[in-house]
Amino acid sequence: MKALGVVVVVLVVLLLLVLALAVRIVKQYEDGVLFRLGRVIGERQPGLRLIIPFVDVLQRISLRVVTMPIQSQGIITRDNVSVDVSAVAYFKVVDAVKSVVAIENVYAAIDQIAQTTLRKVVGQHSLDETLSETDKINLDIRAILDVITIDWGVKVTLVELKDIQLPDSMKRAMARQAEAEREKRAKIIAAEGESLAAAALGDASDTMMAHPLALQLRNLQTLVELGVDKNSTVVFPAPLMSTIAELGTFLAQESRAAVRPEPQPPIPTPAAVANGTSATESRP
């Protein structure tokens, strides 16, 4: 009886061991590739799967999108400028069998091909194009990678340039260029303002020439504006001074005309009245 109990225990242990070797669980985001005696016999969907121990091998492949950083590359652009460019690639496995059978290590392969493609594509562009046309460069890199990786059962979904490092001398040159560009725009704007101001002044001068009173009103307004400031000396414009002088001359003439005596009519003398003549006597 004791020996029988030992045998039963051994059989139960062996059965549990066989079940442990035969049962496989494929997760929802995975796809199983089943090898039987070294030959692919099919794929296994997510769920509980049974295999033959020591005969079958189930290799599980993740179907999720993988984020792979592309390390910084020293690249010489088309206009002979050395830059360091890094990027990031996003890809996923679309054919689990090809990703296992067609290539040994699909992740390492994509990393290497992404680096060489990045160097090739960026080297075909100038520095200005590299900085301003990143979207086009991203699409070019992705298109090249898709052609190569489709045979590996992998699809590249996105490639993005992450960082572009310029030499210090080039950074200083670009800073000077940007400053010169801003100064040019400032001078153009100032010149346009001067042109508009000159045109407005021309229109104003034509109006004042047609209406002299407007010039005098403008002079008086200038005098008021000057009076606002606490200056000890006030300088009057020459046209205003001439206007004031003419006004003073006019007022002086009016004053002299007001105080001048009016001429009195002649008074006839008594003798003239008696004789009926027109002789008059002047009044002192």
Q: Which CATH superfamily is domain 65-166 in?
A: Band 7 domain (3.30.479.30)
Helix 212-228 vs helix 168-210: crossing angle, to nearest 10? 130
Q: What percent of the chain has pLDDT over 90?
A: 17
Domain boundaries, the chain: 18-62, 65-166
Tokens read off for 254 = 């009016």
**Spatial separation of the C-alpha atoms in residues 229 and 3, rounded to whole Å:** 122
Helix (H) or strand (E) holding 49: strand 47-50
Identify the residue with better confidence: 270 or 202: 202
- Pair 269, 279: CB distance under 8 Å: yes
CA atoms within 13 A on the CB side of 26: 22
Q: What pTM was estimated for this model as a whole?
A: 0.58
- Pair 158, 69: CB distance under 8 Å: no
Q: What are the residues whose beta carbons fall under 8 Å from the beta carbon of 69, sequence distance 6 or more?
A: 86, 87, 88, 89, 162
Helix (H) or strand (E) holding 192: helix 168-210
Query: Which of 264, 259, 260 is CA-nearest to residue 280?
Result: 264
pLDDT at residue 78, rounded to an integer? 87
Q: How many residues belong to the chain?
A: 284
Which residues on neighbouring strands pair with residue 164, listed in sequence order? 85
Confidence of residue 273 (pLDDT cuts 50, 70, 90): very low
Which of 19-28, 85-94, 224-233 ranks highest by mean pLDDT? 85-94
Task: Phi first, then psi: give them for residue 40, nearest 5 degrees.
Answer: -75, 125
pLDDT at residue 225, rounded to an integer? 67
- Pair 141, 87: CB distance under 8 Å: yes
* Residue 91 scores a pLDDT above 90: yes
**Spatial separation of the C-alpha atoms in residues 197 and 189, rounded to whole Å:** 12
**Spatial separation of the C-alpha atoms in residues 160 and 83, rounded to whole Å:** 16
Q: What are the residues whose beta carbons fall under 8 Å from the beta carbon of 176, sequence distance 6 or more?
A: none
109-153 tens-digit pLDDT: 999 999 999 999 998 988 888 888 889 999 999 999 989 999 999
Give the angle subtended at the CA of 222 by the CAs of 216 and 191, to the nearest 5°: 105
